[in-house]
A and B are shown apart, each in its own frame.
Chain A
């Protein structure tokens, strides 16, 4: 860490400065799902390479002076003004770009969430070497030359349960000369949902008594696909898994059906005496477990109930409810 060598008070000052700066940036570039870059949002300053170039220009100038060489003066000044013109070109490379938050995939704590952002160019201008990065994410470099929009996916380790904010997204570019660095920090108002950490527990008593035998019963006319079995005489040809047959998996029949089982309720009250996070972790574990076993389950939390169901959407709904339990509703 950079801060480790500093004494505490210096650390404090730099923290305070950092917070002040963050507030200033917040005012200047307020969070928004879609941000179009303009002069209020773009910062520009010579890069390290630019400073090195300035040093080189100085050497050239001294050479021109010492040799009293007018063409050397001219070349030095040409490069110096190239630097100045470069400010406009570097700025133009970000200007007019629109960044949009697309989505962030939910994740369990300790896993990575994928944040998707869309970049759209303004007008017919080409943009090159756009470097996108969240403070702790991997970086991504893209060009926006042939296509009007491009999607960027950045992976980021998420924190604890609830809404995870990746912070401000850094977009920077040194195109076209590398002498100037043009950047912006945008808050795309994009949050990743972090589920509770699933923690296994002994089967709670409430669950065991309600537990059905787990066998699915075929119900004719239902259209929920649940699996394959070997072909038996009399099966409808429409139910034969032709693709599998083509792959040489033998003749199999697709089975459709529904569980003729009683629904299971995952209840907050099943884990008396435990803390909030622990209860949520256990509930999460069991929700995943039932999902895996393809058994219908419902969720009952204080002030909230989700009817028993099955499937990806249902699971996500349950996990979201667990993730957001007790967390203040975030505006958008």
Chain B
């Protein structure tokens, strides 16, 4: 092996550090045994370094590769999809370490490392992840630099400093490229995240589903309004409409449940003031998007269902930003089609007889559908119904009867479901709506942060002349829930976030903790709206603002201009140092002396020490020996001696050199042939 192909000990150490910092963010989504492979690989390579073990043979390597493929297959059930691919990549990364022998292996390993940074972004582009990746890139670059410092065995701060400096110098030009590089659509379909759990509200609802979300403090989405933020009681974020009750669970209509002529939402007349807002949703691995009614999307790729909820044709694998305009006062579906009416009245035959009886009785007493709605709500308020996060379980058969007449304790989904059953039993079209209600207003940047514990279910009833009207039976039972959110509603019960003692939301009452949390949330909103919002439209708009009309010439000029502007200072700072390291004054005087000697034929040989040079001259030209000895003695003291900074010494050297005229003194010597051929001395 050529000596310059070896990997210095220092570089090996950096590489092993990189290995672990790179795998850390992936730790949660890869099987545990992959982490074991990392430890094992590092151990093996260190033992190889110490000379105890040897590099793996070909058979062992092949065995390890096959074993990791098999391992991934058994862990994920397939090797296709983003997570198995990343896990495979990470395993290969660790295995490559074992056979890291030469510099070329190091390149493969480190470039793979850069690619692993990219895979981390496919799972999260949040600010902490980006900063962490920046650290990883710095470490990888440090390892790359360390590989090119042959013989460097000890930790050297300069290595990591150089890597960081280079990355900093690269940063401005990176920004230029980032803003200017055309954002084109995907070139081909890529593996998607198939092994990530779906989160948030699901597409069917059993009693207890929403209350389980009530225990999570994760952020569901954030919204920023252009104008004033509506009152919390007006923030009903619609996500799903459940029209079908099947086997005790409510679910929304599927595509094929709906006849073709009903698949498009009926036009809505927009009345009243509108609300404009932007929403950034956290990934849910599901399709629906949340909005206030009646919502019209202003971003591409967002569709409206016939129930007037928004959805995305693709599952939300990453955070998603969309803009919406809503008209809360607009009336939805003033004319109900016969098919729709039939769907919204359907109930499983024979279930919940007591509820049916109650509904019939109350509807008969009430003069109208509206009065009937009020009567049902009044019953929830009047009788001993309780709002609880952990209500008793309901029986499989006739659960609504059990809820209305026996347990009388439930979370929002119990009330919404019972209410809709009562409505339908009395012939009033009604349905359950699931989504979120309320949200926390961040005073720092006026965003509404909606957490999973804000998940909510309510009802919509169809009334003649009013269309679909929102009715929230929970408000009748626990008005605090609607006005103040779950935390206040659960104050007496004490169950709010009791399972997550580390949740920052739980410590909202400690002022500085809360302020930190909200400030961080505001930063993260800014970051996310920038990262996700920068798409083709934004890019086009930005360039239009900066360049006016965009021409190829202007574009190229901008790229090259920016490159020059960025690189010239870098080049200057790099190459300037050559002249900056100016010679010391004593060097200058001594060089003057050397020049004078060279003029009479005594060229100082490269690398010839001052004393040797002087001795050579003295031997050849004894007549100037005294002066030469004095000058080189002074110089040696100034340059290397303890009195180097003595200004008197420098003055003496200056005077001695100034008075030194070898040409005049030496002529006699040369005539006598002592000096000989000057060229001889040049060697």
Contacts and interface: CB of A to CB of B under 8 A. Distances in A.
Given A89-B166, A139-B4, A177 B150 contact: no
B578 A60 contact: no
Interface stretch (A1-9, A22-30, A121-129): A121-129
A129 B114 contact: no
Most chain A CB within 10 A, of B130, B144, B183, B186, is at B144
Contact of B114 (A71, A79, A81): A79
B241 interface: no
A132 to B, nearest CB: 11
Given A84-B170, A143-B150, A60 B187 contact: no
Contact of A52 (B103, B107, B121): B107
B169 interface: yes
B125 A128 contact: no
A147 to B, nearest CB: 12
Interface in A47-96: 49, 52-53, 56, 59-60, 62-82, 84-86, 88-89, 92, 95-96
Given A65-B186, A66-B188, A68-B186, A60 B121 contact: no
Contacts of B130: 71
A199 interface: no
B151 A143 contact: yes
Interface residues of A, number: 61
Contact of A129 (B4, B107, B141): B4
A79 B118 CA distance: 11
B122 A85 contact: no
Interface in B79-122: 103-104, 107, 111, 114-115, 117-118, 121-122
A79 B144 CA distance: 13
A39 B117 CA distance: 36
Given A79-B114, A81-B170, A84-B563, A129 B150 contact: yes
Interface stretch (B174-182, B251-259, B443-451, B667-675): B174-182
A149 B609 CA distance: 12
Contacts of B111: 52-53, 56
Interface in B152-204: 152, 158, 162, 166-167, 169-171, 173-174, 177-178, 181, 183-190
Size bin of chain B's contact surface: 35 or more
B584 interface: no
A200 interface: no
A128 B150 contact: yes
A89 B475 CA distance: 68
A178 B144 contact: yes
Nearest to B151: A143
A195 interface: no
B606 interface: yes
Contact of A175 (B107, B149, B535, B579): B149
B577 interface: yes
A103 B103 CA distance: 33
Interface in A240-270: none
Given A65-B187, A72-B122, A77-B181, A143 B107 contact: no
A122 B679 CA distance: 27
Contacts of B535: 68
Contacts of B66: none
Given A66-B190, A118-B607, A123 B577 contact: yes
B260 interface: no
A52 B318 CA distance: 31
Nearest to B570: A88
B3 interface: yes
Contact of A178 (B103, B125, B151): B103
A10 interface: no
A151 interface: yes
Contacts of B152: 143
A84 B173 contact: yes
Contact of A69 (B122, B178, B571): B122
Nearest to A69: B121
B577 A125 contact: yes
B632 interface: no
Nearest 9 pairs between A and B by C-beta? A123-B581, A100-B606, A81-B170, A77-B177, A81-B173, A71-B121, A123-B578, A124-B581, A96-B578
Interface of A: 33-34, 49, 52-53, 56, 59-60, 62-82, 84-86, 88-89, 92, 95-96, 100-103, 118, 122-126, 128-129, 131, 139, 141, 143, 149, 151, 174-178, 332
Given A73-B178, A88-B567, 15 more contacts: A52-B107, A66-B190, A69-B122, A70-B178, A71-B130, A75-B114, A76-B118, A81-B171, A82-B167, A85-B169, A102-B605, A122-B578, A123-B578, A129-B149, A177-B145
8 contacts: A65-B184, A66-B190, A67-B122, A77-B178, A78-B167, A88-B570, A96-B575, A118-B606
